[in-house]
């Protein structure tokens, strides 16, 4: 039985240069108490008030510091061994001269002012870095903006346009690579089948780093996280080029909804949920979309119908998305859309991205087009989108 000081007021006490074993200070107020140069073993500080508590040159072995706010605790040359610091707050601390061995930092937080010992990776032990909201107004505005776009995709038009979002430099670079890889035969017979004039490139992220940028537009990621949940993934990311004479695409809704189409022969399905969204799409225009070159056709608000489109209903309500190159369009995969044909004499190139909750099996295994060494170097956003650390099922029940 631990010596019990739970909920007690133990502040300003001096426990320096002693060996303490088996004390419980749960929820105790230890304000300004010193444990400097002490050897602490099996001490339970769960949720204790450790403000200005002195742990200078202290050894904490098998101790519990869960749910403590350590921001104003004196930690210097402190030795944490086999101890539990889960859910603690380590923001702003200089821990450079302290040591951490076999510690539990699950859901502990720290910030960019926290200095960790050399070669110590807090995230490996479960800690999370938090960002300070330097500008609260800015952050409030941005969360308001995110909510507005989320609402637009769910309950209003079903799409949102970021006009001229990508620079000419990025767009031209991406397009040049796509055209090089497309290898479309320039001298197609005048009357050749029009399907030869349309081309998908599926392995974009393996082609150049520019596509690793385009697959995760900064502005879109927090919006998709709200719509698709944490750990959402990218199920397909490809170029869709309509060369001159290419036929359009019939109206449809996107994967995984489209796979339910054939279950219903006569009546369209009516039970798709718009509460939990199973697909959001990005479309990046690498050419100006015009009413002649195969601009996307879209029925605003059709995500609310929760049905597969008929050509007749689609034609009656569609609009064309006519925007300049560099524009980024996002939309709800339940919304009716398709593309018109390219009647112009120039190509019309776009990049399409498909984003899904982590529990949906993606259409493409995007990580398979990367080499092992490239996967190692991916940033955390791409690791998430490609599902690198994703395990299905989540629980491993091997007994």
Q: Which residues of the chain form contacts with Fe ion (CB under 5 A)?
A: 254
d(CA 110, CA 117): 13
d(CA 260, CA 273): 13
Which lies closer to Fe ion via its Cβ, residue 16 or residue 320? 320
Q: How far is CA 192 from CA 189, 243, 344, 378, in A?
A: 5, 13, 16, 42
Instruction: State the minimum distance, in angstroms, from the CB of residue 255 to Fe ion.
Output: 8
* Bridge pairing between strands 109-110 and 99-101: unpaired
Supply 62's token pair: 């098998």
Least Cα distance to 204 among 233, 168, 175, 172 occurs for 175
Instruction: State the minimum distance, in angstroms, from the CB of residue 241 to Fe ion.
Output: 15
Radius of gyration (C-alpha) of the chain in whole angstroms = 28
Which lies closer to Fe ion via its Cβ, residue 44 or residue 254? 254
Instruction: State the minimum distance, in angstroms, from the CB of residue 263 to Fe ion.
Output: 19
Instruction: State the minimum distance, in angstroms, from the CB of residue 246 to Fe ion.
Output: 16
Say which residue the tokens 């004390």 belong to.
23
Which lies closer to Fe ion via its Cβ, residue 49 or residue 254? 254
Least Cα distance to 240 among 342, 152, 362 occurs for 342
Which lies closer to Fe ion via its Cβ, residue 217 or residue 251? 251
Instruction: State the minimum distance, in angstroms, from the CB of residue 96 to Fe ion.
Output: 52
Instruction: State the minimum distance, in angstroms, from the CB of residue 338 to Fe ion.
Output: 7
Those residues with Cβ within 8 angstroms of residue 150's Cβ, 6 or more apart along the chain or in another chain: 223, 226, 227
Which lies closer to Fe ion via its Cβ, residue 211 or residue 257? 257
Which residue has the CB atom at the shortest distance from Fe ion? Answer: 254
Which lies closer to Fe ion via its Cβ, residue 51 or residue 254? 254
């Amino acid at each position: 039985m631990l010596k019990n000081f739970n909920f007690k007021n133990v502040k300003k006490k001096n426990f320096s240069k002693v060996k303490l074993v088996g004390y419980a200070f749960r929820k105790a107020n230890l304000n300004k108490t010193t444990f400097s140069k002490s050897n602490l073993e099996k001490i339970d500080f769960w949720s204790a008030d450790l403000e200005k508590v002195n742990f200078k040159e202290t050894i904490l072995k098998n101790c519990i510091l869960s749910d403590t706010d350590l921001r104003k605790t004196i930690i210097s040359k402190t030795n944490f061994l086999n101890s539990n610091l889960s859910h603690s707050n380590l923001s702003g601390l200089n821990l450079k001269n302290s040591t951490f061995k076999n510690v539990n930092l699950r859901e502990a937080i720290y910030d960019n002012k926290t200095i960790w010992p050399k070669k110590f990776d807090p995230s490996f032990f479960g800690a999370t870095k938090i960002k300070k909201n330097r500008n609260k107004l800015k952050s409030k505005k941005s969360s308001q903006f995110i909510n507005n776009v989320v609402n637009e995709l769910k309950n209003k038009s079903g799409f949102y346009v970021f006009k001229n979002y990508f620079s000419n430099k990025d767009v031209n670079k991406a397009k040049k690579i796509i055209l090089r890889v497309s290898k479309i035969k320039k001298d197609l017979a005048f009357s050749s089948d029009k399907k030869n004039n349309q081309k998908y490139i599926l392995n974009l992220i393996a082609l150049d780093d520019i596509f690793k940028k385009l697959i995760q537009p900064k502005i879109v990621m927090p919006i998709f996280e709200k719509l698709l949940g944490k750990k959402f993934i990218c199920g397909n990311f490809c170029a869709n080029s309509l060369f001159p004479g290419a036929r359009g695409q019939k109206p449809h809704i996107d994967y995984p909804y489209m796979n339910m189409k054939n279950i219903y022969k006569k009546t369209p399905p009516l039970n798709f949920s718009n509460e939990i969204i199973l697909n959001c799409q990005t479309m990046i225009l690498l050419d100006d979309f015009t009413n002649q070159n195969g601009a996307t056709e879209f029925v605003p608000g059709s995500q609310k119908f929760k049905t597969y489109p008929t050509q007749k209903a689609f034609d009656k309500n569609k609009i064309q998305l006519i925007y300049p190159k560099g524009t980024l369009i996002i939309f709800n995969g339940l919304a009716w859309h398709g593309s018109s044909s390219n009647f112009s004499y120039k190509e019309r190139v776009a990049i399409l991205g498909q984003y899904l909750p982590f529990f949906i099996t993606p259409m493409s295994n995007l990580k398979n087009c990367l080499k092992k060494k490239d996967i190692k170097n991916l940033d955390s956003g791409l690791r998430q989108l490609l599902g690198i650390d994703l395990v299905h099922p989540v629980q491993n029940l091997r007994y």
